Structure 1
Amino acid sequence: MISISVPVLNEADNLDALYARLDQLSMRMADRCEMEFVFTDNHSDDRTWEMLSVFAQRDPRVRAIRFSKNVGFQRSILANYMHTRGDAVLQIDADLQDPPELLEQFFDLWRSGYHVVYGIRTKRQEGALMNALRKVGYWVIDKIAEHPIPRDAGDFRLVDRKIIDSVQKFRSTSPYLRGLIAELGFKQIGVAYERSARTAGSSKFNLGQVIRLGLSGVFNHSVVPLRIATYAGVTLLAVSVLGALYYMILRLFHPDLPRGLASIHILVLFGIGFQSLLLGILGEYLRRIYLLLRAEPTAIAEQALNIDDDELKL
């Protein structure tokens, strides 16, 4: 069985086309596998849940959970993973920018022994600023992460059941799943494709959310920022000592030098700003520890379709 995992938020305009393509794909692959379609609704305020209810009534393969509030994209994916039953899971967005038909190629690679098959976006239908920001973000995360994370790869991927079971063992209130899955190891391979433009609805992933996701990737999978803070502090301390010695020697040879009031102000302001930056870095890690200790659930289910109460794992 292959589980198709689809997180949704106000995607009523795309659901009919998505379901039709998934249904056609399941018929084309009927001789190779069974399928189920698992949706997690991030508390949509359009007709998304009503449409999923209609799908679930006429098709038992459709299973869905509606959250009591919007818990974010990554946690929605994680909650979806927790309720899949397939031997492998295909993660796909509802906007059809990633072609579900690529599952056939993913499926063959999975059957040949790969545990993770992910899509590599060779082209994106986005603005120049967003594309540049994503490239810089992928580069930074890849360079400082303790384990290599594929560049230009999003959440469009097929993962083996072993990966799903392993991911659920990690506790994180701000998961960065593409980094976590890359960190697990196993046999992984990428498949290049061109990402299509969204045909209906509007993107729910704005610039602020992209930045927050990037920060999660940095702070969840690297301690480099903490080390930078330590190294920078030691460096500044050494520079301060050298500067003090320099001015003491200069004062011996030039006792009439004017007092540097402006330079003192600049140094004080620089020190305050730099310390604030270091405190901010420490705060990001402390915040994650605090949220982890709270042990809050991944999400809270408000309603479920074709999923019994005893199956809910949130």
Structure 2
Amino acid sequence: MNVVQTPSITPPPSIYFVLPCYNEAEGLTQTADALSAKVVYLTSTKQISSGSRILFVDDGSKDTTWQIIQTLHERNRHLFGGVKLSHNRGHQNALLAGLMTAREHGCDAAISMDADLQDDVNAIDEFIEKFRSGNEIVYGVRSARKKDTWFKRTTAETFYKIFEWMGAETIPDHADYRLMSREALDALSEYHEVNLFLRGIVPTLGYQTSKVYYERGKRAAGESKYPLKKMIFFAIQGITSFSTKPLSFVTGAGLLSILIAFGMFIYVLASLGFGHTITGWGSMMISIWLIGGLIMLSLGVVGEYVGKIYMESKHRPRYRIETTL
């Protein structure tokens, strides 16, 4: 007797949308409305399960961000959740707190994105499609940087090239708009360093990955939380967290300084031999400033690494959750 086998239908996955927030009161309601509409659509079309959630992570905001998150939760307890950190710990720690909370609540995958609607919510459909086809990590990659200023575009491209040249792995034009499966989140939970740079950590996890290209939009409201100062600090954080090549540069700078000093010594001997008058002041000042600058630069690079070792050795918690909705 022939037995007819009924093909198994994979149930729609439970997806948590994790959005770190810091002083996002101006545009948070607009973001919640746009994302909730997308979640309702994906649920109705059976692309994701009804157990999917939108999880806002308040990173110690000083405005009414947390009050808005509470209002959203009261409006729809089934859809909106919230995590309030007891103190401002920075974007990367807030994002990690949200991802680990989603993992603890048994999601099949988590999609991290910014709370300012710059990450295109319409790209989520393709994220889900690629995840359901077997990809454990899906990266959101900007298709173009036409809306960026020349300075921001140039510095971003330079950073990715330097990062790659130093031997660290990253995805060019990818920020933190990504999907991570439960298995990938489990792997991420095993990384315990305090100096977090998720854009560098996630590519090292392995697993099958894919990319979704999208056009990054303008902020829905408010101002960017990443001014030039924070961008520079973030770049230094990323480079020193994944490469020791800057320490090699210190050695190279020291050797260069010695060669210059040796060259100056030969120049002085030659000048004495030919009877030239040596004023001395100019060459001495250049040498002092050059050597002094190299020493200070070298101490600064070494100090960055010593500081990181110091922070890691204390084993302090990366964040502390005050309230969970």
Q: If the length of structure 2 is used for normalisation, what is the TM-score?
A: 0.87
Q: Any residues of structure 2 matched to 1:129-208 within 5 Å, and which?
A: 129-144=151-166, 146-208=167-229
Query: Which amino acid letter does the alignment assign opposite residue 83 of structure 1?
Result: T
Structure 1 position 88, deviation (Å): 1.3
2:292 pairs with 1:277: no
Structure 1 position 54, deviation (Å): 1.9
- Whole-Å separation in 2 of the counterparts to 1:232 and 1:124: 38
Encode CA deviations 1:107-147: one digit per residue, 9 max, x unaligned.
Answer: 11122222221112113534332233222222222322x23
CA contact (8 A) 1:147 1:182 kept: no
Where 1:83 maps in the other structure, the secondary structure is helix
Where 2:170 maps in the other structure, the secondary structure is coil
Aligned partner (choices 122, 144, 150) of residue 101 of structure 1: 122
Identity of aligned residues (%): 27
Query: 1:20: which partner in 2?
Result: 33
Structure 1 position 301, deviation (Å): 2.3
- Whole-Å separation in 1 of the counterparts to 2:253 and 2:134: 45
Structure 1 position 275, deviation (Å): 0.3
Q: Any residues of structure 2 matched to 1:1-314 within 5 Å, and which?
A: 1-30=14-43, 31-34=46-49, 35-57=52-74, 58-85=76-103, 86-121=107-142, 122-123=144-145, 125-144=147-166, 146-252=167-273, 254-305=274-325
- Whole-Å separation in 1 of the counterparts to 2:156 and 2:269: 48
- Whole-Å separation in 2 of the counterparts to 1:27 and 1:299: 31
Query: Which amino acid letter does the alignment assign opposite residue 226 of structure 1?
Result: L
- Whole-Å separation in 2 of the counterparts to 1:191 and 1:303: 33
CA contact (8 A) 1:110 1:117 kept: yes
Encode CA deviations 1:147-185: one digit per residue, 9 max, x unaligned.
Answer: 331111111111122222222222222311111112223
CA contact (8 A) 1:2 1:36 kept: yes
Query: Which amino acid letter does the alignment assign opposite residue 120 of structure 2?
Result: P
Structure 1 position 7, deviation (Å): 0.3
CA contact (8 A) 1:67 1:299 kept: yes
- Whole-Å separation in 1 of the counterparts to 2:170 and 2:71: 39
Structure 1 position 51, deviation (Å): 1.6
- Whole-Å separation in 2 of the counterparts to 1:250 and 1:169: 64
CA contact (8 A) 2:123 2:212 kept: no
- Whole-Å separation in 2 of the counterparts to 1:199 and 1:32: 27
Where 2:252 maps in the other structure, the secondary structure is helix
Where 1:150 maps in the other structure, the secondary structure is coil
Encode CA deviations 1:207-249: one digit per residue, 9 max, x unaligned.
Answer: 1111111111111111111111112212332343344345435
Structure 1 position 255, deviation (Å): 4.1
CA contact (8 A) 2:176 2:199 kept: yes
Query: Which amino acid letter does the alignment assign opposite residue 308 of structure 2?
Result: R
CA contact (8 A) 2:257 2:291 kept: no
CA RMSD of aligned residues (A): 1.9
Where do 5+ consecutive residues of structure 2 fail to align? Answer: 1-13
- Whole-Å separation in 2 of the counterparts to 1:187 and 1:147: 19
CA contact (8 A) 2:20 2:56 kept: yes
Where do 5+ consecutive residues of structure 1 fail to align? Answer: 306-314
- Whole-Å separation in 2 of the counterparts to 1:161 and 1:232: 45
Distance 1:239 1:265, change over 3 A: closer
- Whole-Å separation in 1 of the counterparts to 2:268 and 2:162: 39
Off by >6 Å, runs of 4+ in structure 1: none
Task: Report how many residues are paired.
Answer: 303
- Whole-Å separation in 2 of the counterparts to 1:223 and 1:61: 44
